């Protein structure tokens, strides 16, 4: 008798008209099995980036809710050292994430969006996190594809896995472990995890201790989402979409203090809890594709927002890099492209059109102050003010979060409040991201 069956034997029988967890999992093994995601239609105003598959198969899965996400990126050496370009051979990667909403069943999505060849996953597991790279042994489950523990993800595809009978609560931490026996080639990844991932030589997918996981990284690899079914409450989820201010750059690593994390925590104590997922990419631009900073916001919006299962609202905080990199190109190779304010506004309008076409509520956030940062010049300040005035007054967004005013210094409205400044006068510290979360009106989320 398995550990799950022993637990089930002690659980009172559910009401007749409701399926048990095991019955529901069995019924969905075929319907929601890991299958290649087909590319879907591109919304008006968007382009389809190379290697980026939409998640039609995933988003259409009945009852699933995305509870944690990370936007896939091309392998590169951006920001901090990482393992993306070298990939993995005869190695195991262990990654820890905190979900935003709980559910009765769990599934994992893996992305090979920027792979140039099929990705062979020798095996994978999921468990509740204990501490660091260690896991709670009684919660360990092997991940499968049509009940097989080894599976292949085609190049350019994302896969959604078989349901796992791992009930989770809001704000639980889970650990996903992937083993690769054969060389993977360069890895689709998410550059700025603001969290620690672990690597071990050999097959340690089922290890409960952290002993073998001696190498660490601050990026995520192949892991693109965790979904739950039977989420409580059953309100549609919210996607936080944007650049480093959404991705959480400047927050304490490993503390889950990015603003989407803070918003999920805040809502969990109210009458309006719901799933909040993070689709920010540090350095991302609204209008320009970049090998280091991801496909442009207008290009990736369909995949990263509209294709997420049961998304009802998106919060857009984007445009600072388009304006700032026009003045100070990134030292790690960001695009030196002159982007006028009207082009940023046109990008926002494209996002609004795409969201409206899918019936998704869209909220715009004004761009925070950046005086004193390397991005700030008289010209960039004029652009920022022009974009912010449009966001506030055009009436195009369903609601507005005025971060420009919420985060401004009481003595200089063009500068971040020192209490919120991570130190570069552009990014936020933990208190600043908490202030962003508290600037959101829960009633505006729909």
Q: What is the pLDDT of residue 338?
A: 87
Q: What are the C-alpha distances in Å from 229 to residues 15, 65, 105, 261?
A: 18, 6, 5, 20
Question: Measuring CA to CA, which residue among 106, 136, 143, 139 is closest to residue 3?
Answer: 139
Core vs surface per residue 217-243: b (16+ CB within 10 A) or e: bbbbbbbbbbbbbbbeeebbbbbbbbb
State pLDDT tens for residues 214-235: 999 999 999 999 999 986 667 8
DSSP, collapsed to helix, strand or coil, labels residue 228 as strand
Q: How many Cα atoms occupy the beta-carbon half-sphere of 282 within 13 Å? A: 21
pTM, two decimal places = 0.88
Q: What are the C-alpha distances in Å from 408 to residues 35, 320, 368?
A: 47, 15, 7
Q: What is the pLDDT of residue 334?
A: 63
Q: What is the pLDDT of residue 230?
A: 83
Q: Which residues of the chain have pLDDT under 70?
A: 1-61, 231-233, 331-336
Q: What is the pLDDT of residue 12?
A: 37
Q: Which stretches does DSSP call E strand in 208-360?
A: 215-217, 220-221, 223-229, 237-242, 276-280, 311-317
- Residue holding tokens 């695009």? 335
Other CB atoms within 10 A of residue 35 CB: 15
- Residue holding tokens 């109210």? 270
**C-alpha radius of gyration, the chain, whole number:** 21
- 364, 401 Cβ separation under 8 angstroms: yes
233-445 maps to which CATH number? 3.40.50.1110
Q: What is the pLDDT of residue 232?
A: 64
Tokens standing for residue 407 = 């985060």
Which residues lie closer than 8 Å to 176 by C-beta, 6 or more apart? Answer: 94, 95, 97, 108, 124, 125, 126, 143, 223, 226
Q: What is the pLDDT of residue 306?
A: 98
Q: What is the pLDDT of residue 259?
A: 98
Question: Measuring CA to CA, which residue among 399, 307, 397 is closest to residue 345?
Answer: 397
- 201, 116 Cβ separation under 8 angstroms: no
């Amino acid at each position: 008798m398995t550990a799950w069956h022993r637990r089930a034997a002690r659980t009172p029988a559910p009401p007749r008209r409701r399926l048990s967890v095991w019955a529901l999992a069995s019924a969905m093994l075929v319907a929601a099995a890991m299958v290649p995601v087909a590319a879907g239609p591109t919304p008006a105003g968007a382009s389809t980036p190379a290697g980026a598959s939409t998640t039609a198969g995933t988003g259409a899965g009945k009852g699933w809710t995305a509870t944690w996400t990370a936007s896939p990126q091309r392998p590169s050496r951006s920001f901090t050292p990482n393992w993306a370009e070298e990939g993995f051979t005869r190695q195991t990667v262990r990654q820890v994430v905190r979900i935003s909403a709980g559910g009765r069943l769990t599934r994992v999505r893996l992305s090979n969006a920027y792979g140039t060849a099929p990705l062979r996953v020798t095996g994978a597991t999921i468990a509740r996190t204990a501490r660091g790279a260690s896991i709670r042994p009684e919660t360990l489950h092997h991940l499968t594809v049509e009940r097989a523990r080894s599976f292949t993800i085609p190049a350019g595809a994302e896969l959604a896995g078989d349901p796992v009978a791992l009930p989770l609560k809001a704000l639980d931490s889970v650990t996903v472990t992937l083993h690769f026996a054969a060389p993977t080639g360069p890895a689709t990844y998410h550059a700025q995890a603001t969290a620690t991932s672990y690597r071990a030589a050999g097959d340690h997918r089922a290890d409960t201790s952290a002993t073998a996981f001696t190498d660490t990284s601050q990026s995520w690899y192949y892991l693109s989402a965790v979904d739950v079914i039977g989420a409580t409450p059953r309100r549609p989820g919210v996607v936080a979409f944007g650049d480093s201010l959404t991705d959480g750059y400047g927050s304490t690593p490993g503390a889950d203090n990015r603003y989407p994390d803070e918003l999920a925590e805040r809502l969990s104590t109210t009458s309006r809890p719901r799933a909040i997922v993070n689709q920010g990419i540090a350095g991302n631009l609204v209008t320009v594709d970049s090998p280091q900073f991801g496909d442009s916001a207008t290009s990736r919006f369909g995949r990263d927002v509209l294709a997420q299962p049961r998304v009802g609202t998106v919060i857009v905080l984007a445009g600072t890099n388009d304006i700032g990199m026009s003045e100070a190109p990134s030292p790690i190779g960001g695009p030196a492209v002159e982007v006028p304010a009207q082009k940023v506004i046109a990008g926002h309008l494209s996002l609004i059109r795409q969201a409206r076409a899918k019936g998704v509520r869209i909220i715009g956030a004004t761009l925070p102050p950046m005086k004193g940062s390397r991005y700030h010049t008289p010209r960039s300040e004029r652009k920022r003010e022009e974009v912010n005035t449009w966001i506030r007054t055009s009436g195009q967004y369903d609601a507005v979060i005025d971060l420009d005013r919420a985060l401004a210094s009481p003595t200089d409205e063009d500068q971040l409040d020192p209490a919120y400044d991570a130190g570069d006068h552009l990014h936020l510290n933990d208190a600043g991201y908490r202030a962003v979360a508290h600037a959101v009106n829960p009633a505006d989320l729909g």
